Amino acid sequence: MSEAAQAFQMTIDGKAVASDQGFGVIDPSTGRVFAQAPECSRAQLDAAMESSAAAFPLWRRDEAKRRQVLRDCAAALRARATELGRILTQEQGKPLAKAVGEFYGAAVWFDLTAGLEIPVEVVQDDAAKRVEVRRRPFGVVGAITPWNFPIILAVWKIAPALLAGNTVVIKPSPFTPLSTLALGEALRDVLPPGVLNVVSGGDALGAWITGHPAVRKISFTGSVETGKKVAAAAAPDLKRITLELGGNDPAIVLPDVEPARIAERLFWGAFENSGQVCSAIKRVYVHEDRYEALLSELAQRARAVKMGGGLEAGVQLGPINNRPQFERVCGLVEDAVKAGARVAAGGAPAGREGYFFQPTILGDVAEGVRIVDEEQFGPALPVLTYRDVEDAVERANATMFGLSGSVWSGDTGRATEIAARLECGTAWVNQHLDILPTAPFGGAKWSGIGVENGRWGLLGFTETQTIDIAKG
Ligand code: NAD
């Protein structure tokens, strides 16, 4: 069945639910609408919330069952990864292998989460009393996701929220609703009704979720701007929040580095998913002795990379996901060139239908230019120079973003010490973007509140309960 003919439906209370209203979903490789998604009404959202609230008391009771169900979710996604990956490619733009890989990655996350321990800590156990610190779930979690990695980012929320005993109502981005709706369909018979509700709609639906009285915890991934609105919406009801927001990651390249040795890793640290990664390298600081050599290595790679529609064979980079983002990247590059940046590669739209922008490397650019100071979130990378590493660290930290960063050197000990001085949630050495299911991921400063992944991410879907038992 073609995607156009396929009916994408929401999942509410374990059932497929259509809507009177729909909205078009655009294939970014053509710029044309290829499918419709249901626009969730207020009454339908209320029904989803009611069903999640009703499912909660039973769902939270049996931890062993939850673990088994999460493993079943992993198996269900694995069985359909190829088919579902195609939908993700069509709406998001990424190469098919990456989209299929995202579903396999989601399965891995379900499996690994199923094995995490929900700790019970004993802080006192003597003749007088036993004091345990347990972890209890919140109830209904409202989950809101962006358009760059719709599936893996959804599962970073769904899997730990469910293991902890919560139930979930999730809303994907209106630019990429279909793969998450398909995820809901794939898990419909695996999860008890109400445990996972999937609704789709525009930004207003996100605001309804954050303001909904049934929601006790909001887990949000998206931009800093929206993250602040989510925090404000949560405040009157004191809903708990986890915010995973934007980044402007620096990579600092020390003078002992051989540019040809690191250029490939550095390039992909910036251009993975066409630069639409929250924690992609968004500015590179290179010691002046290595500057020209590294600029040229990066430019060579930018020119050689195969860009195209995600369903075309051998494609490494897809289009930018949506028109507003495409226009933003065009504007940032134009602005940088006007400010005197040297275009070492790319520099313009690719001149074909869809939202393709040539992989772009910009030299002779510095702070004060928008593409350095703001999050570009696209395939355009500014490369800056420095003389003194202290100055590079200071400039890397001189921002309200603090998601991640990296330091590149042959001396890993020295690089590690410098990395530890970066004001960010994850600091890599001689790599960038290796996000693990076992380690916490989150941002400092405006890049977020709280973390996801590993046992730290799981604990974010719980609150402590002290049980204090008098003896004798
Ligand atoms: P966005 O903030 O525009 O939208 C994210 C989600 O929020 C969408 O589902 C949207 O419909 C919803 N939304 C919009 N207004 C809302 C409101 N008032 N209340 C509630 N929900 C609302 O972000 P985007 O453009 O979809 O995604 C790109 C951004 O996400 C980038 O800044 C990127 O760095 C960030 N991001 C962060 C992480 C991370 O883990 N830190 C991961 C991926 C992306």
Is position 185 annotated as part of the catalytic site?
Answer: no
What phi and psi, each to the nearest 5 degrees, are found at residue 74? -60, -45
b vs e for 244-257, b when ≥16 Cβ sit within 10 Å of the residue's Cβ?
bbbbbbbbbbbeeb
Is 70 exceeded by the pLDDT of residue 47? yes
370 φ/ψ angles, rounded to the nearest 5 degrees: -55, -40
Q: In the predicted model, what is the mean pLDDT of the chain? A: 97
Structure tokens at 420: 């530890």
Decide: 234 in ligand 1 pocket, CB within 6 A. no
pLDDT (tens digit per residue) in 48-104: 999 999 999 999 999 999 999 999 999 999 999 999 999 999 999 999 999 999 999
pLDDT of 33 strictly over 80: yes
Average pLDDT over residues 2-26: 87
Residue with token string 């600091």: 427
The answer to whether the predicted template modeling score (pTM) of the entire model surpasses 0.75 is yes
User: Is the CB of 359 inside a 6 Å radius of any atom of ligand 1?
Assistant: no
Q: Which residues contact 452 (CB under 8 A, 6 or more apart)?
A: 156, 157, 160, 219, 242, 244, 440, 441, 442, 460
289 alpha carbon – ligand 1 mean position (Å): 39
Residue 312 Cα to chain centre, angstroms: 25
Distance from Cα 173 to the centre of ligand 1, integer Å: 7
Strands 342-345 and 121-125: unpaired
Q: Phi first, then psi: what are they for 378, rounded to 5°?
A: -170, 180
pLDDT at 3: 44
Note if 330 is an active site residue: no
| CA-based end-to-end distance of the chain | 69
Residue 310: alpha-carbon gap to chain centroid: 19
Q: List beta partners, residue 220.
A: 144, 243
Please spell the DSSP secondary structure of 87-145, one letter per residue: HHHHHH---HHHHHHHHHHHHHHHHHHHT-----EEEEESSSEEEEEEEEE-SEEEEE-
Rounded Cα gap, residues 80 and 85, in angstroms:
8
Q: List pLDDT tens digits, range 250-283.
A: 999 999 999 999 999 999 999 999 999 999 999 9
Out of 94, 170, 221, 400, give the residue to mutate to test ligand 1, the one with the largest number of ligand atoms within 8 Å of its CB: 221
pLDDT reading at 4 higher than 70: no
Confidence class for position 6, pLDDT limits 50, 70, 90: low
Atom of ligand 1 nearest to the CA of 247: 34
Q: Which of 25, 141, 278, when mutated, tests ligand 1's pocket best, judged by the most ligand atoms within 8 Å of its CB? A: 278
Residue reference for tokens 């909001």? 218
Hey, which of 141, 144, 171, 326 would you mutate to test ligand 1's pocket, going by the most ligand atoms within 8 Å of its Cβ?
A: 144
C-beta atoms surrounding 91 within 10 Å? 31
Separation CA 230–CA 309 (nearest Å): 34
141-164 burial, b for 16+ CB within 10 Å, e for fewer?
bbbbbbbbbbbbbbbbbbbbbbbb
C-alpha span between 227 and 145 (Å, rounded): 11
pLDDT at 1 over 70: no
For the record, the structure tokens of 285 come out as 């600081």
Name the pLDDT band for 408 (thresholds 50, 70, 90): very high
Q: How confident is the model at residue 211 (pLDDT cuts 50, 70, 90)?
A: very high
Q: pLDDT > 70: what percent of the chain? A: 99
Asked whether residue 21 carries a pLDDT value surpassing 90, the answer given is yes
Q: What is the pLDDT of residues 151-202, one digit of tens each?
A: 999 999 999 999 999 999 999 999 999 999 999 999 999 999 999 999 999 9
Distance, CA of 300 to CA of 242 (rounded, Å): 40
Torsion angle (degrees, nearest 10) of CA 269, 275, 276, 280 = 30
Q: How far is CA 121 from the centre of its chain?
A: 31
CB 53 within 8 A of CB 141: no
What tens digit of pLDDT does each residue of 123-145 get? 999 999 999 999 999 999 999 99
**Across residues 24-41, what is the average pLDDT?**
98
152 ligand 1 Cβ < 6 A: no
Q: How far is the CA of 172 from the centre of ligand 1 (A)?
A: 9
The predicted structure's pLDDT at residue 446: 98
Q: What is the mean pLDDT of residues 383-404?
A: 98
β-pairing verdict for 342-345 and 426-429: unpaired
Ligand 1 near 446 CB (within 6 A): no
The secondary element (H helix, E strand) that includes residue 365 is none
Residue reference for tokens 């890397």: 396
Catalytic residue among 91, 102, 244, 272: 244
Tokens encoding 427: 């600091």
The DSSP code for 8 is P
